[in-house]
């Protein structure tokens, strides 16, 4: 198994050195650059699977580098690094094709989790060539591992629901793999070559989320010095993933409902409506029935976003998959780090199968 190649672009030596150490220790091949020009030269020498770039660089900016990477090597994922308070340009980067962003200062755990997810997304897209209409016999389909009947049902739902434009609601505890399912639904769909825009509703301040989702016209409010497309419009032809949708303020839930019903939206400060074409996937780790009862989630919006509903069971309810998951993780990381660990003992399997796994699959992977 070839080691993933990662390019880090930042003019702060402390940042590049720290990331080189963190990622290098996990088996990644890491190179660094201090500018867009140097990064371009590195990329011409050899391709990279992932680029982590600061948004502010000496000779240009991260948006310019992002655009070049996506134009020249669309399969390369890009994560932008941003300082606190620059959420607007960060979301612009996501619209331009960045996988996601990470805010400085960050922890090694945050970096490693985001890098793993970005590379996993690339792997799922590659698997699309052979898994378009197939379900594997070894308990893994679309990068989602499990032989349990409930997981098989999820595999089948992905196969049947992905080609449609039906809105999908994915429910489940943290660490159960909801993002993997959302990614598989996009990759297996007819929209797979169009944008896949992911936004965490809990990560954007309430005062910004409306303008970021719907966009605005110049002069709509103080500081609106230019027209700006919203994330919904930016997802044109593709898929919009709303993570933690229940965190969206009630008045925006009403606006989103109208957009889903009429497939038209009006940007802030605009008199005209524009047509929009996107597929909506929503994720939540909360109890939707309780949220409706508490009036934090509109009942009519719930019915609109849950045309297809996928409930991801916690790992404690499919303990028969623990051994399969553990074996796959052992194989993956043994190959990644060049270790010769052939198997897990029966005693270890017995312990793993008796544990409650409150952190679900994510916790098992980190053991």
**220 domain residue, yes or no:** no
Q: What integer pLDDT is reported at residue 136 of this predicted model?
A: 44
147 and 244 part of one domain: yes
Could you tell me how many residues make up the chain? 367
Share of the chain above pLDDT 90, in %: 55
10 Å Cβ neighbour count for 127?
19
**141 domain residue, yes or no:** yes
Domain end position, chosen among 82, 98, 119? 119
Q: Select from 49, 114, 59, 48 the least CA-distant residue to 81.
A: 114
Q: What is the dihedral of CA 286, 290, 296, 297, to 10 degrees?
A: 80
DSSP string, 305-354: HTSEEEEPPPGGG-GGGHHHHHHHHHHHHHHHHT-------HHHHHHHHH
- Token pair of 119, please? 């590379």
CA separation for the pair 199, 204 (Å, rounded): 9
- By CB neighbour count within 10 A (0-12 exposed, 13-18 middle, 19+ buried), where does 275 fall? exposed
108 and 168 part of one domain: no
**212 domain residue, yes or no:** no
**207 domain residue, yes or no:** no
- For 106-153, how does the pLDDT look when each residue is reduced to its tens digit (9 = 90+)? 999 999 989 988 888 877 766 554 444 443 445 566 778 888 989 989
10 Å Cβ neighbour count for 126?
12
152 and 173 part of one domain: yes
**303 domain residue, yes or no:** yes
111 and 240 part of one domain: no
**204 domain residue, yes or no:** no
**205 domain residue, yes or no:** no
- For 8-63, how does the pLDDT look when each residue is reduced to its tens digit (9 = 90+)? 999 999 999 999 999 999 999 999 999 999 999 999 999 999 999 999 899 998 89
- The structure's pTM equals 0.70
> Could you tell me the CATH number of the domain that includes residue 348?
1.10.8.60
152 and 237 part of one domain: yes
Domain residues for the domain of 165 are 132-198+231-254+272-313
The verdict on whether omega for the bond into residue 105 sits within 30 degrees of 0, i.e. cis, is yes
- For 232-267, how does the pLDDT look when each residue is reduced to its tens digit (9 = 90+)? 999 999 999 999 998 899 999 999 999 999 999 999
Q: What integer pLDDT is reported at residue 129 of this predicted model?
A: 46
């Amino acid at each position: 198994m070839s080691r993933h190649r990662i390019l880090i672009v930042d003019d702060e030596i402390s940042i590049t050195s720290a990331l080189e150490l963190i990622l290098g220790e996990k088996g990644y091949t890491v190179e660094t650059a201090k500018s867009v020009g140097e990064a371009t030269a590195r990329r011409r020498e050899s391709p990279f699977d992932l680029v982590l770039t600061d948004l502010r660089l000496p000779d240009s900016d991260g948006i310019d580098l992002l655009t070049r990477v996506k134009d020249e090597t669309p399969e390369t994922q890009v994560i932008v690094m941003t300082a606190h308070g620059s959420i607007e340009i960060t979301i612009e980067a996501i619209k331009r094709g960045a996988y996601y962003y990470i805010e400085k200062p960050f922890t090694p755990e945050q970096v490693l989790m985001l890098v793993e997810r970005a590379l996993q997304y690339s792997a799922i897209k590659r698997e699309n060539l052979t898994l378009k209409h197939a379900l594997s016999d070894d308990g893994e389909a679309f990068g989602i591992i499990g032989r349990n009947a409930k997981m098989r049902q999820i595999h089948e739902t992905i196969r049947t629901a992905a080609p449609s434009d039906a809105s999908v609601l994915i429910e489940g505890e943290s660490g159960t793999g909801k993002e993997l399912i959302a990614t598989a639904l996009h990759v297996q769909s007819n929209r797979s070559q169009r944008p896949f825009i992911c936004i965490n509703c809990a990560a954007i301040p309430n005062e910004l989320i409306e303008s970021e989702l719907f966009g605005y016209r110049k002069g709509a409010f103080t500081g609106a010095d230019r027209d700006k497309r919203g994330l919904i419009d930016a997802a044109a032809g593709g898929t919009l993933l709303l993570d933690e949708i229940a965190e969206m303020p009630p008045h925006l839930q009403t606006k989103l409902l109208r957009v889903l019903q009429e497939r038209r939206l009006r940007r802030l400060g605009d008199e005209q409506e524009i047509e929009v074409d996107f597929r909506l996937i929503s994720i939540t780790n909360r109890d939707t029935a309780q949220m409706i009862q508490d009036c934090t989630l509109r009942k009519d919006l719930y019915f609109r976003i849950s045309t297809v509903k996928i409930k991801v069971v916690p790992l404690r309810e499919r303990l028969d998959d623990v051994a399969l998951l553990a074996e796959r993780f052992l194989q993956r990381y043994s190959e990644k780090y060049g270790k010769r660990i052939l198997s897990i003992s029966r005693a270890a399997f017995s312990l793993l199968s008796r544990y409650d796994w409150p952190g679900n699959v994510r916790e098992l992977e980190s053991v």
